[in-house]
Amino acid sequence: MRYHVVYEPGEINYLGSNTSKDLFWLKDPTDLLQQPNTNIITWQLNDLPLTNKFVDLYKTRMHSAMLWHYQGNKDFFFNFIYDIYRGVNKSNLLESREEMNKIIDNLNTRKDIWFGIPEDLKLNTTDVFDPREKNLNELHDHFETRMAELEERTKQGIVPSALSEELWNKLQSINLLVHFNENPPIDKETKTLEEKEWFFTSLKFESPTYADTILDPEDYRDFTLERDFGPLQLDFGTVGKDLFTCSVTDDIELVHKNMVSQQIELNPWVQYDWTSCTKTEWEDALDLYDRWITENNVREYLDLDKDMFRPGRHQLGNCISHNFKNPTQFAENIIATTPKINSFFITDDNNQTIL
């Protein structure tokens, strides 16, 4: 099986989520793979048990989206969504903080919503070496809480559809901007910033979901962050931070508040970047993780013997269309001319549809 992402010319929002109502899943992959002025990234999917579950769920959800459309039901807010985290440099970091503060101002001056965000959680827009980690952690708490409230109020009809979509986009932006500003490559003592490309992408599609697909204990068996350049990974697909991410951002408050969000649901969504993690680098990261667990007495709060606490992400496959060795090569060859995602789909090894 192969996973393809088609890129085309267009504008990209790096300060929030990119959404589309295009019904690309009604089109034949043969046609999508032959569109002019596009670039295509292709991954060969592996045969791990969870990867096979991922493919089966992809087919189920795509079929339900098609049926939903053919039955004449109302469109979703979007048919697919993708977030792109671009390169880290002084300009991009400060711009992202300015955008965060604008969102806080907007939410705090509205009369049609039920919440606000404390002004003291705003970010520093002049000193790039002041990331305000505690503010970022608190802002992420607000994102989680308000997104859950928005979903429930929308279901109950309390929040109108147009307002719900607007608030969803603003909350999504808060989440994206928090993650972009977490752990920037800065040295506060020497006042230096290591500018580097990143281009992490998270890619999802919407469909009617009649029942959640819960991960089984054995599904966590292959979780890891050890990987070659540019692998396709199963998207986290969960609102919040898992324990490993909490350790990286030193967000022990989420542990104390019982707000750690492990990945427990399977969704047919993907994520990818163009970095690698060697076996030694992963072992070093796990050593830091274990030290953080011990120093913060995390086992007093969580049962870490549960399979869901295994650190990492499920690796779905490796890129076979390109041999990018870093995000810069990806940016120069794909993003420079075709930054916008046009479509994405799974085919068999002969590039024929599996739907």
Distance CA 307, CA 222 (A): 11
Give per-residue burial for 75-106: e unless 16+ CB within 10 Å, then b: ebebbbbbbbbbbbbeebbbebbbbbbebbee
What is the H or E stretch that residue 327 is in? helix 327-330
Least confident residue range of 180-184, 212-216, 328-332, 346-350:
180-184
pLDDT at res. 140: 93
Distance CA 205, CA 79 (A): 6
Distance CA 199, CA 7 (A): 14
Q: How confident is the model at residue 266 (pLDDT cuts 50, 70, 90)?
A: very high
pTM for this entry: 0.91
pLDDT at res. 76: 76
pLDDT at 25 over 90: no
**Residue boundaries of the structural domains of the chain:** 90-196
pLDDT at 14 over 80: yes
Q: What is the 3-state secondary structure (H, E, C) of 209-267?
A: CCCCCECCHHHHCCCECCECCCCEEECCCCCCCCHHHHHHHCCHHHHHCCCCCCCCECC
pLDDT at res. 191: 83
Structure confidence by residue, pLDDT tens digits, 169-200: 999 999 999 999 987 888 777 888 888 778 89
Structure confidence by residue, pLDDT tens digits, 58-99: 999 999 999 998 998 877 777 889 999 888 899 999 999 999
**Tokens encoding 314:** 């499920």
Average pLDDT over residues 224-233: 94
pLDDT at res. 79: 83
Q: How confident is the model at residue 256 (pLDDT cuts 50, 70, 90)?
A: very high
* Average of per-residue pLDDT values in the chain: 93
